[in-house]
Structure formats: C-alpha cells, structure tokens
Amino acid sequence: MVNLFKRMRKLKTILDVRVGTGAAIFPTLASANKEFPAVTRLHLTYAQKIYGGHQGARHFWRRCLPRLKYHNPGVKMTVRQTEEQEGPAALTIYFAERVGSTANAIAGKNQITDKHAPAPEASERTAVVDVKNLTWEEIWSRVQASTGAEEVPATAEDQAEQKKLQAISEKAVKDRERIQAMRQAKRDQERMLAEARGEVEKLKTM
C-alpha cells in the first residue's frame, strides 16, 4: 500500500489544475453579450513534432487546457495531433450565434482552414486562430482577448497552499544535497575499509 501521506502529497497537484495561467471562465449563455458571445467548443490541431512552430500549441494543451476545462466543465475541448509537420497549428473557437469583432480581428482576414476541426453546427460560428510560431502564453492572451474570458483569482487558501508547496520543493533541493553528501561519505568510508581489509589479507598471505 502506498503511504497515505505520500498519496496526499501527490494529490496536491490538483492545485495546479485550479490555479495558474488559463484559470478563467468563458462567457456562458447567461453572461454573453454582443461583443463576447458564449463559447461552446474549442478544438486544437497541431503536428506531432515541435519544429515548424508547433511547440506553443502543444504547451497550450498541456498547461492551459486542463485549467480551462476545470473552470468550464461544459465546454467541449478536443485536441488533434497530426503527422503533417507542414500542416496548420490552429485553435478553433466555436461561438454561439455570432463572432465578436475582437475575435474576428485576431483571427485575421486570411483565415486558415483546419480540416481536422469538427464542423460547426447550424447555430455555431467559428473563429480560427493561427497559433503557429506562438508561445503558449501568447496563445492564451489571444484566446482571452477574443473570448473575453474572466480570470478566476486564486483564493487565499489556494495561495497559502501554493506557498507551502513551494517552500517544500525548495527545501527538497537542500535535503537532497544533504542526503547525497551523507550517502557519499558512507560509501567512501566503506570503500576505504574494504581497501584496508584487502591489504590485511595481502599481508597475511605473504
């Protein structure tokens, strides 16, 4: 059985799912306005390898999408990893009814097409953001600007916990060095003893 405290410590990583970049709530049908209509779906397509500007998209998936999904459980999010390195790296945002002017401006005139993205339903309009050669922070700021997502501030408890975890990980580095030094010293001594013993044996046989 795994130690209970080890398990608890590991489970604290769920804090990462709640707090950080991308912890934001999209406008829902209730809170939507003309500029920022409700977001119904997200789809991300990028290629398998990172060269050709696909790195940011993958990092966006790994870092931001879990938090977005946690705070917007009803928004469907799909990711497609293709093998076409020359192909597009695109984030398709599906809006209900209409696309806001900011989203249109960010998507740009020469819209790229993402053939892997699922087709929008009759009531959905899409904005495709070209995410090639962008870092994940840039992708996130674009998504935030075009959807009008509201950041969820970390609660006081979460912040306290974050600090605690950080302190633990800092202490862990020191402890690791200390223990390593101790083990090395022990190993050295054992080696010395073994050598000394070997010499005694040699003397005996002589």
Partner 1 sequence: MSSYGAALPSAARGILSSCRLPLREKSMSPAFSVFQQIRGVKNNPQAKGKGKKKEAKTERKGPREFQQKHLKDMEQFALCDAMRYIRAMEVGREPTVSKYEVHIRMRTRKDGPVIRNMIRFPHAVQTESRICVICPPGSKQAKDAIAAGAILVGEDEVFEAVKAGKIEFDRCLAHPDSLPALNKAALGRILGPRGLMPSVKTGTVVEDVASRVEDLRGGTVYRERDAVIRLPIGQMGFSPEQLRDNLRTTIESIKKDAAGLNDRINKEIYEVVLSSTHGSGFSLNGEFRTDNSPETSALTGV
Can you tell me the distance from the alpha carbon of 115 to that of 128, in angstroms, rounded to the nearest whole number? 11
Closer CB to partner 1, residue 2 or residue 122? 2
Residues contacting 38, CB < 8 A, separation 6+: 26, 27, 28, 29, 31, 32, 95, 96
Binding string to partner 1 for residues 45 to 84, with x set by CB under 8 A, is what? Answer: ----------------x---xxxxxx--xx-xxxx-----
Closer CB to partner 1, residue 82 or residue 102? 82
Place of tokens 């590991």: 10
Can you tell me the distance from the alpha carbon of 196 to that of 46, in angstroms, rounded to the nearest whole number? 62
Binding string to partner 1 for residues 144 to 183, with x set by CB under 8 A, is what? Answer: ----------------------------------------
Q: Using CB under 8 A, which of 6, 8, 195, 205 touches partner 1?
A: 8
User: Rule CB under 8 A: is residue 14 a binding residue for partner 1?
Assistant: yes
User: Rule CB under 8 A: is residue 10 a binding residue for partner 1?
Assistant: yes
User: Rule CB under 8 A: is residue 119 a binding residue for partner 1?
Assistant: no
Place of tokens 């087709």: 119
Closer CB to partner 1, residue 8 or residue 173? 8
State which H helix or E strand residue 79 sits in: strand 76-82
The distance of closest approach from Cβ of residue 152 to partner 1 in the complex, given in angstroms and rounded to an integer, is 13
The amino acid sitting at 113 is T
Closer CB to partner 1, residue 82 or residue 104? 82
Can you tell me the distance from the alpha carbon of 49 to that of 45, in angstroms, rounded to the nearest whole number? 12
Closer CB to partner 1, residue 79 or residue 154? 79
Percent helix, strand and coil across the chain, each to the nearest 5: 50, 15, 35
User: Rule CB under 8 A: is residue 191 a binding residue for partner 1?
Assistant: no
Place of tokens 């209409």: 98
Size of the site for partner 1 (CB under 8 A): 28
> Quick check: helix, strand or coil at residue 76?
strand
User: Rule CB under 8 A: is residue 11 a binding residue for partner 1?
Assistant: yes
Contact 39, 68 (CB under 8 A): no
Residues near partner 1 (CB under 8 A): 1, 4-5, 7-8, 10-11, 13-14, 17, 44, 61, 65-70, 73-74, 76-79, 197, 200-201, 204
